[in-house]
Amino acid sequence: MSKGKVVVLGSNATRIEIQGGDTGPTGQYLNETVVPMMALVGADYEVLLATPSGAKPYIDPASDAVQHFGGDEAAYRRGKDFFANDPSTNQGRTLRSVIEEGLDNYAGVFAPGGQGPVVDLMQDPDAGEILRHFHAAGKPTALLCHGPIVSISALPRAKEFREALIQGNRAEAAELAKGWQYAGYRMTVYSASEEKPIEDNILHGKLYFYMPKTLDLAGAKTTVGPDFEPYVIEDRELITGQNPRSDHPIAAALIAALNRNRARA
């Protein structure tokens, strides 16, 4: 018997802006998507992957590697098979359709990372509506790696906030962030130093803004642990993980939070 349903917010982005007006390749990380989803299924929760367009997320090739599964070839193959073939990842659902179906039908929400969410989910009004619902209901909200930046979508003028960051207008961004639902929350997110290898080796350029400073500008209390080591923070309904290696710990924290909520219901 299912314990409840969890909606997974996926990204459709394939390119991200870099300084100088160019773009670089990006996407969603495979392990960050499938490891928590598979753990939820194993804990008797249903999962549903939805994106802005309804198309499946583009998996960043940098993440399509056994190293992101602890070097375990069998785990890597299981993850790839789950993403390719599991019904939960292949329903073609849009974020809007999930909202119209009724968010009360869901026990929790999860957003994995890769830089893709920094492009679309961060400023997507449907993602914002979903997060505002779960925040108001106090239901578990788990955001991994770059995923915590999706919390910005809860702002009524998230697109303008993001554009102000790209234009280097931090004062305007701070003004647009007033009243953010997650102000004062303790969070973690992919660090600026962890971003550097991607900038150097994949993007061949620098991002316009970095995740910890962006969340702090909006009002979060952001801390990061050692680079590329698991690190998870829980504050109220919000669970955030720093990087790809936080995939198993955030899954365990989310399942525990869902179980606690279910026990109280």
Asked if 109 contacts 103 with a C-beta cutoff of 8 angstroms, the reply is no
Helix, strand or coil for residue 225?
Answer: coil
**198-221 pLDDT, tens per residue?**
999 999 999 999 999 999 999 999
Interatomic CA distance for residues 170 and 176, integer angstroms: 10
Interatomic CA distance for residues 87 and 214, integer angstroms: 35
Task: Write out the residue range of the structural domain in which residue 154 sits.
Answer: 5-264
| pLDDT reading at 118 higher than 90 | yes
**133-157 pLDDT, tens per residue?**
999 999 999 999 999 999 999 999 9
| pLDDT reading at 180 higher than 90 | yes
Asked if 9 contacts 110 with a C-beta cutoff of 8 angstroms, the reply is yes
Residues sharing a CB contact under 8 Å with residue 194, sequence separation 6 or more, in sequence order: 227, 228, 242, 243
Q: Which among 53, 33, 18, 6 is positioned nearest to 198, based on CA atoms?
A: 18
Total count of domains within the chain:
1
Q: Which among 86, 98, 221 is positioned nearest to 148, based on CA atoms?
A: 221
**55-67 pLDDT, tens per residue?**
999 999 999 999 9
| pLDDT reading at 265 higher than 90 | no
Q: What's the confidence (pLDDT) of residue 20?
A: 94
The sign of the torsion formed by the CA atoms of 200, 205, 206, 207 equals: negative
Q: What's the confidence (pLDDT) of residue 253?
A: 98
Q: What is the CATH number of the domain that holds 77?
A: 3.40.50.880
Q: Which among 240, 244, 253 is positioned nearest to 114, based on CA atoms?
A: 244
- Mean pLDDT over all residues of the chain? 97
Q: What's the confidence (pLDDT) of residue 198?
A: 96
Average pLDDT over residues 123-127: 98
Q: What's the confidence (pLDDT) of residue 128?
A: 98
Let me know if 233 is exposed, middle or buried by CB neighbors in 10 A (0-12, 13-18, 19+): buried
| pTM (2 d.p.) | 0.97
Helix, strand or coil for residue 152?
Answer: helix
Split at pLDDT 50, 70, 90, the class of 172 is: very high
**216-261 pLDDT, tens per residue?**
999 999 999 999 999 999 999 999 999 999 999 999 999 999 999 9
**How crowded is the C-beta side of 35, counted as CA atoms within 13 Å?**
27
| pLDDT reading at 90 higher than 90 | yes
Q: What's the confidence (pLDDT) of residue 1?
A: 85
